Amino acid sequence: MKEYMFWKIGLLVIGVVVTSVMTGCDTQNTKNTLAAAGFKIKLPDTTEKLAHLKTLPQHKLVSQEHEGNVYFVYADADNCKCMYVGDEKAHQQYQKIVIKQNLADERLEAEERFGTPSYGWGFRRVWGPRWHGY
């Protein structure tokens, strides 16, 4: 019984550590993508700005209106104590990058799962050279 509890607690601890590491990687990946899309990093230079940063939704891209313009804000008061701010153009670029990353991830997953490139499932052999023409 003690051995079972030891393994159960050990697995729980490993799960928490892995989840924390993966969340940190996801957060860093998001910040890298935001920067690549043209978002500007803003650091709080007063205690008032830091306090305001902590009130924003954390680790989520949200829209904010300021002086009649829409901006997109990603706040991270936990790690970098900063926020990323972008306009509509930067937001659209961010979405394009995320879509490309998702497609690349899906392609890689398909290659790992089926052991062949995702385009090599024998479509030409079965459907002929013009299978993609509907």
Q: What is the pLDDT of residue 38?
A: 96
The whole-angstrom separation of Cα 83 and Cα 75 is 4
Do 50 and 81 touch, CB atoms closer than 8 A?
Answer: yes
The whole-angstrom separation of Cα 102 and Cα 123 is 23
The whole-angstrom separation of Cα 79 and Cα 53 is 12
Q: What is the pLDDT of residue 125?
A: 61
Output the tens digit of pLDDT for each of the chain's 134 residues: 555 444 444 444 344 333 333 334 577 899 999 999 999 999 999 999 999 999 999 999 999 998 999 999 999 999 999 999 999 999 999 999 999 999 888 888 877 777 655 555 555 566 666 655 55
Q: What is the pLDDT of residue 37?
A: 95
Q: What is the pLDDT of residue 123?
A: 58
* DSSP 3-state of 63: strand
Q: What is the pLDDT of residue 119?
A: 55
